[in-house]
Chain A
Amino acid sequence: AQSVTQLDSQVPVFEEAPVELRCNYSSSVSVYLFWYVQYPNQGLQLLLKYLSGSTLVESINGFEAEFNKSQTSFHLRKPSVHISDTAEYFCAVSEMGGSARQLTFGSGTQLTVLP
């Protein structure tokens, strides 16, 4: 079984400042790692994913996340945030090789970008 811990439930940050949203996971097997974003009254949108290869993955809107196997972490970062980045962010894992690739989510981090 897997579990995901998002260490901060709320992160307020000023516009154009850098931000890091922390995610740690626990699993007895290898996993795929994901970050999803949820805007108010909407479903989840995939932000980025780590499947294999380079441990640093990037999204098209400037976010990046680094897979650290030894620390079982997959922290999300952005060097300069915008007001439009205000949303709930969920870290999720999926077990490699499972017959049903269910996602196990963390409890979410509300990112609020202040003007």
Chain B
Amino acid sequence: ETGVTQSPTHLIKTRGQQVTLRCSSQSGHNTVSWYQQALGQGPQFIFQYYREEENGRGNFPPRFSGLQFPNYSSELNVNALELDDSALYLCASSLAGQDYYGYTFGSGTRLTVV
């Protein structure tokens, strides 16, 4: 059973650029959630995808967008990067209807905006 894998592990971007982060969910999971973890803080919910559609969104602006593919993998896209977007971005997968058993998190992508 494979876990959640994220790529890349580290990324440096310039303010104003766009970035795409990728996530492969755990085998058997069909729901993907994305979280932003700023330095010294707890993760904050960005959005969740189920059946290739957004299924809930946290308090993040529209320049944060996502996709889920038929194989349940997912992308997080951030446009017009700002310095405050520097954070660890975590992907978590779960099985719809059983996600209260807990999510499986990836190791994250560390994004630095300069």
Contact = CB atoms under 8 A, between A and B. Distances in A.
Interface in A1-52: 4, 6, 32, 34, 36, 41-46, 49, 51
- Interface band, chain A: 20 to 34
A43 B106 contact: yes
A100 B101 CA distance: 14
A104 B107 contact: no
13 contacts: A6-B42, A43-B106, A44-B43, A44-B105, A45-B105, A46-B102, A46-B104, A90-B43, A100-B48, A105-B42, A105-B43, A107-B40, A108-B41
A100 B102 contact: no
Interface string A86-107: 0000101010101111111111
B92 to A, nearest CB: 8
Interface of A: 4, 6, 32, 34, 36, 41-46, 49, 51, 90, 92, 94, 96, 98-108
A108 B88 CA distance: 15
Given A90-B43, A104-B45, A42 B100 contact: no
Contacts of B44: 105
Interface residues of B, number: 27
A4, A101, A104, most chain B CB atoms within 10 A: A101
Interface in B75-95: 90, 92, 94
A36 to B, nearest CB: 8
Contacts of A44: 43, 90, 92, 105
A12 to B, nearest CB: 17
A87 to B, nearest CB: 14
B33, B58, B102, B107, most chain A CB atoms within 10 A: B102
B4 A43 contact: yes
A21 to B, nearest CB: 13
Contacts of B57: 100
A102 B107 contact: no
Contacts of B100: 32, 49, 51, 94, 96, 101
Contacts of B102: 34, 46, 49
